[in-house]
Amino acid sequence: MSESTVFSEAEVDETDERVDVYAASGEEESGRVFNAVGGDWDDIVGEVGSRPEERIVVNMGPQHPSTHGVLRLILELEGETVTEARAGIGYLHTGIEKNMEFRTWVQGVTFCTRMDYVMPLFTETAYCLAVEKLLGITDQIPERASAIRVLMMELNRITSHLVCMGTGGMEMGATTVMTVGFRERERILSVFEMISGLRMNHAYIRPGGVAQDLPAGAIQAIREMIPLLRQGFHELELLMLENPILKGRMVGVGHLDLTGCMALGVTGPMLRSAGYPLDLRKDQPYCGYEKYDFEVLTRTGADAYDRLWLRVKEMFESLKIVEQVIDELQNNPGPVMVEDKKIAWPAQLAVGPDGMGNSLAHIKEIMGTSMESLIHHFKLVTEGFRVPAGQAYVAVESPKGELGCHAVSDGGTRPHRVHFREPSFNNLQAVAAMCEGAQVADVIVAVASIDPVMGGVDR
């Protein structure tokens, strides 16, 4: 057909009832009647824009490959233009924060590590730092334990950024970005498995320190991995950062300026892409970050491309920190758990052929030393330690922004309340500001640049 064929509503008086001669048996035969007519496409588009009843509401998700999990986006469209965008959350609600009130302080680590499952070690660290602040033992944490925490967090920062870039690239059709990104991520996950026994949901960082020291060969494995990672990151740089197709797709998309970031409480790469150099590792150092040399990078474009650029460059900065930490760990052996035996987890864990468990030699020692030590071991494991009444808030710089933990104790062996300031939850508020007025296809790019993980949003 030479002309476009569209369906337009017939001009009908409100009192008039038209009969739909095409209605099937059992269907209503009266109501709005639409006639198929030809016409010029530009005239049709102009007519749609002038008639608000022609707007379409589209649900993108919760089951959609481009919504980073079970995120529902309610989009109101005029043609291809988004006139209103809202985020519907709650489809992955797990009740983790509430469940933590019914477990001991140590068992809480097993819950919070499952919130944002892409960056579990950051949630563990924030929670443990808050518990240690309540206990008043922040200054008693062994230096080696803090250094191991930094090592694990920076490697986890890299894996989180790789997931963001890999899935975002896949959504735009760049499958090679995904395969290269996940290839490099696998290298780090194998190190996590060597150290903690698990690839994710580690429960490795505990109140007072870490579950166990680095196993033999871990530092050497990391040293051998670093040049391979650096080469892989360079591949991603060449694939993306100066790629004219990718720049054409991302530059100017998902724009959120500094005023918008400040108004919505947006942090992390999104805030730094607007030119504000906020990084808690520099501004409020924790775990000894003040000892390490690294840069806080910023951009001023405040768009999806700048957020991608920052994540790529931040991975190189994380590698710089990792190199400094492994030098420190190699030269400074020491304990990895606080000395106070009323707090320190009594088990000596070891990675065996069946995963991570108690060291048999340690169990024999406990059983054979004295009845008092056996009773103490039993009570600490089953009941847990008591935390003085009070409340504490501690924040860390996660891959997505400020991750805070507000812990409240009533003096018992269980938390009275634990609440997390999850950066994905705060950053997701920016969907409307970033997408309204843009094309519907740009929504996918904008949401990918936010990097939300729904396990952290819904928790």
50-87 pLDDT, tens per residue?
A: 555 667 888 887 777 777 778 888 888 888 888 888 88
Question: Under DSSP, is residue 209 helix (H, G, I), strand (E, B) or coil?
Answer: strand
Which pair of structure tokens corresponds to residue 437?
Answer: 């007025």
Q: Are strands 72-78 and 81-88 parallel, antiparallel or unpaired?
A: antiparallel
What is the rounded CA–CA span in Å between residue 86 and residue 102? 34
What is the rounded CA–CA span in Å between residue 340 and residue 336? 12
* Whole-Å CA distances, 56 to 38, 74, 80, 84: 21, 10, 10, 10
pLDDT at 24: 59
The per-residue DSSP string of 283-311 comes to: HS--TTGGGS-------SS-SHHHHHHHH
Nearest Cα neighbor of 449 from 161, 62, 90, 61 is 161
pTM given for the model: 0.84
Nearest Cα neighbor of 195 from 357, 322, 348, 350 is 350
Taken in order 437, 441, 447, 449, the sign of the CA dihedral is negative
What is the rounded CA–CA span in Å between residue 160 and residue 397? 13
Which segments in the chain show pLDDT lower than 70?
1-54, 346-360, 362-363, 366, 370
On the 0-12 / 13-18 / 19+ scale of CB atoms within 10 A, 52 is: exposed
What is the rounded CA–CA span in Å between residue 418 and residue 52? 46
pLDDT at 421: 93
Q: pLDDT per residue over 341-376, tens digit each?
A: 888 876 666 665 555 666 667 667 767 776 777 777
| Cβ-contact 268, 396 below 8 angstroms | no
| Cβ-contact 105, 411 below 8 angstroms | no
pLDDT at 354: 58
Nearest Cα neighbor of 212 from 158, 152, 130 is 152
Please give the domain boundaries of the chain with CATH numbers for all domains: 1-54 (no CATH), 96-343+385-458 (1.10.645.10)
Cross-strand partners of 407: 392, 418
| Cβ-contact 155, 186 below 8 angstroms | no
pLDDT at 51: 56
Which pair of structure tokens corresponds to residue 391?
Answer: 């409340």
pLDDT at 16: 47
* Whole-Å CA distances, 315 to 198, 402, 448: 22, 18, 18
| Cβ-contact 286, 280 below 8 angstroms | yes
Nearest Cα neighbor of 271 from 158, 415, 402, 131 is 402
Torsion of CA 432, 436, 441, 445, to 10 degrees: -40
Residue type (1 letter), 65:
P
Residue carrying structure tokens 């009647």: 33
Question: Under DSSP, is residue 76 helix (H, G, I), strand (E, B) or coil?
Answer: strand
Element at 110 (helix H, strand E): helix 108-112
What is the rounded CA–CA span in Å between residue 233 and residue 188? 13
Backbone angles phi, psi at 295, to 5 degrees: -110, 145
pLDDT at 43: 64
What is the rounded CA–CA span in Å between residue 79 and residue 29? 29
Q: Where are the alpha helices (DSSP H) in 172-217?
A: 175-196
Cross-strand partners of 85: 75
Local structure of residue 413 (DSSP, 8 states): S
